[in-house]
Structure 1
Amino acid sequence: MTTTPGPLADSVRLAWPAEAAAVADLQRRVWSSELSAEVAATVLGGVSAEEMTQAWGQAISRPPKARYRVLVAIADARVVGFATTVPGQDPDADEAADGEVQEFAVDPPARHRGHGSRLLNACADTLRADGFRHARWWVGEDDQALRGFLGAAGWVPDGSSREIGTDDEAVRLTQVRLHTDLADG
């Protein structure tokens, strides 16, 4: 008797180089849906889909640093989310002890199905496996949905904030830094 395999379970794993275009496309969709129309047009107008695909391909196949990881959330054999984990990038970070979630996105139609939670747990597990004891995450000051999601998972503000944006200052975003202890995982 031959059995037909069932649907693949939703999962998170390291990204494959062949998924660079899917990650770039997802990032563009998330930016388009989460940023104001003006900010999205400015940010996305400055980089083509092809350039983003090349950048993600490089990040996946030849990471810029040791312990730089690109993770993908998979559902029905397609990328529905991605995240990057890296050594802490801030001047006050201890690169040996402080890791950082640098990018994190879940496709809007795929939200509220557990992909974000799986991706968040995989980020913590990956940072822990890479030897980090603490994790940091810069989030938009006004992104109450993400801050609430992270707060429920034990991430808390550490009092740091920053402003980022385009070189011409047409786009300015204020972020706050959250942190968590990875030893509790």
Structure 2
Amino acid sequence: MALFRETADVSVRPAVAGDENAVTEVQVAAWRATGVLGEGVIAALDVPAMRARWSSAISSPPGPGFAVLVALDGPDVVGFAAVSPGQVLSLEVLPGSQRAGHGSRLLAAAVDRLRADGSETVTTWSLVDDAARAAFLEASGLGEDGRSRTLATGVREVVEHRWSAQV
């Protein structure tokens, strides 16, 4: 006999102390899965430093309008979004949990947070060669706005395009 849940046990909530481990794991796994950054960049990541930065962002946001949100599947953190005034700084979902609505829930919660903080637009950045993210952003109503930036990773340069929309 199959077990069915009357409601899905999925949600989004503000990150709390202790979530930094899962957030870091999600970020590294998602970046690795895209293949866009390359294994050299992934191998060069300072994971303990990343974890410490997420811990600080969660427990001591740098100012008003900054927040980290996590997507849950049952008790498990499967994704996260980080926001600052007017911007989704990061949005990642575990590769095995993608295409299950977590990214959409995170983006909706992030936009709700931006609106509540008075933002009239939302912007985010996407790696140029990340076709799956570009498709997700486009389906979510964002569009490339003509801006780009180059990030120096210490291994190679990485180019991102900015996406934006009115909220």
Aligned ranges 1:82-101 → 2 under 5 Å: 82-87=80-85, 99-101=86-88
Name 2:103's counterpart in structure 1: 116
Query: Shift in Å at residue 56 of structure 1?
Result: 0.8
TM-score by length of 1: 0.81
> In the aligned structure 2, how far is the partner of 1:61 from the partner of 1:129?
20
> In the aligned structure 2, how far is the partner of 1:112 from the partner of 1:43?
23
Alignment match of 1:74 (pick from 72, 75, 92): 72
Does the 8 Å contact 1:28/1:44 carry over to 2?
no
The structure that has the greater radius of gyration is: 1
Does the 8 Å contact 1:8/1:77 carry over to 2?
no
> In the aligned structure 1, how far is the partner of 2:91 from the partner of 2:39?
17
Query: Shift in Å at residue 25 of structure 1?
Result: 1.3
Does the 8 Å contact 1:69/1:86 carry over to 2?
yes
> In the aligned structure 1, how far is the partner of 2:109 from the partner of 2:124?
15
Which string of whole-angstrom CA distances, capped at 9 and with x for unpartnered residues, describes residues 60-114 of structure 1? 0001222111010000211000010102xxxxxxxxxxx0111110000001111
> In the aligned structure 2, how far is the partner of 1:75 from the partner of 1:7?
12
Query: Shift in Å at residue 43 of structure 1?
Result: 4.1
From the superposition, tell whether residues 46 and 128 of structure 1 become closer, same or farther in structure 2 (CA, over 3 Å): same
Aligned partner letter, 2:39: A
Name 2:115's counterpart in structure 1: 128
1:175 correspondence with 2:165: no
Query: Shift in Å at residue 136 of structure 1?
Result: 0.6
Does the 8 Å contact 2:65/2:117 carry over to 1?
yes
Q: Name the SS of the counterpart of 2:57 in structure 1.
A: helix
* Runs of 5+ unmatched residues, structure 2: 1-5
Q: Name the SS of the counterpart of 2:19 in structure 1.
A: helix
Moved over 4 A (4+): none
Aligned ranges 1:153-168 → 2 under 5 Å: 153-166=140-153, 168=154
Aligned partner letter, 2:164: H
Equivalences, count: 163
Query: Shift in Å at residue 35 of structure 1?
Result: 3.2
